[in-house]
Structure 1
Amino acid sequence: MTQTAGGADVLTAHAMVMLNDRPVVPLSPAIYEALAECEGTNRTLQVVTSAASRVTLPLRTSKAQWLVHADNGYYEGLTGRPMHWNGTAFVPLPEARDYASTYTTPPTAPIGSQLVLTFQARHAPSAVLGAHTEKLMRLLTGEPPAGWGLTEPLQHPWHTDDLTTHITNTSSTRLIVVGAGTRPAIATSHFSSLAPPASGTAEITTLSIGYTYDEDPPIPQLPSFIDLLSADHPLTALLAQLVPGRPDLTTEPRWTGSSAPIGLASAGAYTGPPGFSRKRLGPPDAPVTWYQLGDGYSPEYWQRHQDLLTHLRRAT
């Protein structure tokens, strides 16, 4: 590999490589700019850290590929897949038949759980944006968001008017929102203009809340929270799942377990499919149907999620 000038340590026709050996690697302004450059040049951004590093949730969910340098080579931080440098990029090791050995070692800190809510919404041109995230954070943490921004650390205190102005002046925006309370809470949001002839803004947001191993996430309360949310802020859909992970919402390059579904809310009043527990939520003029999929601890219930999606697509 050859060092280059600028923010990249290596630049080829296929990849931009950035080396970062910090204990916690965030979605920094330099990485954010590199992601934008890679998107414009059809490259993959590959961020390389040591096995002792962790990445923040915004970096983990970005389009950057996380590579880990261990004693026995390189591997993909999120999957454990062994990798090697082929002269133009890090690619899977052809002869590998198992996870990288470091990936299967125990995490360095106790693993708790992360409640992950992914919702979609459509907003009128005059709507104040960010209200869904604020409402959910208040319900789940007791506090509103502290701030928002494009990179970490965040640049702006939480004001929905400022956030709305920024989004309406940009055709497509990805944002980070952090909670203000003692409980870790981070949302990553994508706002984009609705395709003509519709007008307004489409939103996809994933909100993650961290819990320690001896805490119970508020799974039984989720339908009532969604009911309160949809009363003021209509939803298109919401998926709730539980993910094993660090309570601080950072990620180690090690296996911590599989996610499991809790439930799915879909705008509209539905009656099926058979065998699914459902509950009508929201106001009469904008109903939402909540389907209980599982307890958040049984990954095999993802099949129920697929069966439900198939039914809903047929129904609509």
Structure 2
Amino acid sequence: MLGGTVWPPEAAHTDVVPLTPETATATPASDSAPPAVDVLTDKAAVVIQDRPVVAMSSWLADALRTAADGDLALQIVTPSHVSLTLPTRNALRGHPNRWVVQDADGGYYDGLSGAELHWHQGHFTPVKSAEGDPRIAKAFKPEPASDSSGERQLLLSLHTTHPADEHLLLGGALEAAWQSLTGAPPAGWSTAEPIALPWSPPPADRAGSHPRPEKRPHLADHHRNPRPSGHRHHPHHPLPRGIEEHITLSLGYAADEIPPLDAIAPLAEALATEHGLTSMLTTLRSAGRDLTVPPRFEAPPIPLTFTLGPDAVRDIGLTHACRPPLSLRPVRPWPAARPAVHYPLGDGTSGETWTTLQQLTQHLKAAPETARSPR
């Protein structure tokens, strides 16, 4: 609009995210606020973005940390043609943060839940029905052809535990998973997007163990060639058994690409044997190969497998873990000295496997004391 240059060039346009009169007259962010924050109230730090994809840039990551420090909501306002990267979506998933989308009629809704929103007392908050329930915006409904592309995402959520000592290197489980499922190691890592640093396993002191989750580094890795992929990595404070890692890995596949489901069981065995696996859940979902998140409903993932690591099996008891009251049969425990148990749940085509997973977890939690192995 003022003769500047943007990159990529196709992102250039003169559309502006309109705001309600009340929002427009809210107190602008002070000079001491992070550069990304446009409106700052006693309840929210509001960021206005109008670009094809909103990434977790260093400016946006700084705004997120500032909001967390002040116990404020981070609320990103965008038009309806915008999508989010996975790191940005994950940052906005937790209450009270929100992705605020303006629809074609000038109203607002939550881009992740679909709840209609309005600006009230210094922040965007859900519009309630007469019964006191949130209303779902029509614009959030899935597009008629949204499931016809055949694109899918393979998702892994895994926890590992490692002894806490000065030689600890984190990220080995992630690197093993990446290599097993893509045939190549991760390309890079960063605490913000775009990814700028070559991949190397982060030592425990770099990965951090700050007591507030919002302060822990958000390590995002992408390997764009041969396929879109990314992950979140959160190390935790030392626990009685050591340092715990929470890792999520997402891989995108086109309609003519086959997700490597046969590689999951061997990967689970390698993680349990060599990388301190506590548990791993794998799921498959119909969604875009590029892993970006649109502001509309997407089908939930469907469970494929669940794995219990050796320590969890020892706590529950091997006999109890291997005899769930279900039709599913776990894979033979491995390794023999400290066995883990791997449960195939389905092929990713039936949502009924969520019920199977729920029944399995209830069974595992109900292990009698006599079935538990001694420490």
Q: What is the TM-score of this pair, normalised by structure 2?
A: 0.78
Matches within 5 A, 1:151-300: 151-160=192-201, 162-167=202-207, 172-179=216-223, 181-195=225-239, 198=240, 200-267=242-309, 268=313, 269=318, 270-275=321-326, 276-300=328-352
Structure-1 separation of matches of 2:191 and 2:237: 18
Counterpart of 1:78? Answer: 112
- Conserved 8 A contact 2:115-2:134: no
- Conserved 8 A contact 1:190-1:203: yes
CA RMSD of aligned residues (A): 2.2
Matches within 5 A, 1:13-24: 13-24=42-53
Match of 1:12 among 28, 41, 46: 41
Structure-2 separation of matches of 1:295 and 1:28: 36
Match of 1:68 among 94, 101, 104: 101
Gaps of 5+ in 1: none
- Conserved 8 A contact 2:208-2:217: no
Local SS of the residue matching 1:46: strand
The count of residues paired between Structure 1 and Structure 2 equals: 313
Select the structure that is richer in strand.
1
Structure-2 separation of matches of 1:122 and 1:169: 14
TM-fit CA distance, 1:260: 1.1
TM-fit CA distance, 1:283: 2.3
Matches within 5 A, 1:80-119: 80-95=114-129, 99-106=136-143, 110=149, 112-119=151-158
- Conserved 8 A contact 1:193-1:199: no
TM-fit CA distance, 1:199: 6.2
Q: 1:105 to 1:185 in 2, by over 3 A?
A: closer
- Conserved 8 A contact 1:147-1:155: yes
Gaps of 5+ in 2: 1-22
Structure-2 separation of matches of 1:105 and 1:133: 32
- Conserved 8 A contact 2:126-2:134: no
TM-fit CA distance, 1:111: 5.5
- Conserved 8 A contact 2:117-2:126: yes
Q: 1:227 to 1:13 in 2, by over 3 A?
A: same
Q: 1:105 to 1:239 in 2, by over 3 A?
A: closer
Q: 1:181 to 1:165 in 2, by over 3 A?
A: farther
**Larger relative CO (CA 8 A, sep 6+): 1 or 2?**
1
Highest CA radius of gyration, 1 or 2? 2
- Give % identity: 32
Structure-2 separation of matches of 1:74 and 1:297: 34
Once the two structures are superposed, residues 243-290 of structure 1 have per-residue CA deviations (whole angstroms, 9 ceiling, x without a partner) of: 221101111112231221111101224222122221135422332111
Once the two structures are superposed, residues 197-233 of structure 1 have per-residue CA deviations (whole angstroms, 9 ceiling, x without a partner) of: x363110000001111233322243112212333321
TM-fit CA distance, 1:165: 4.5
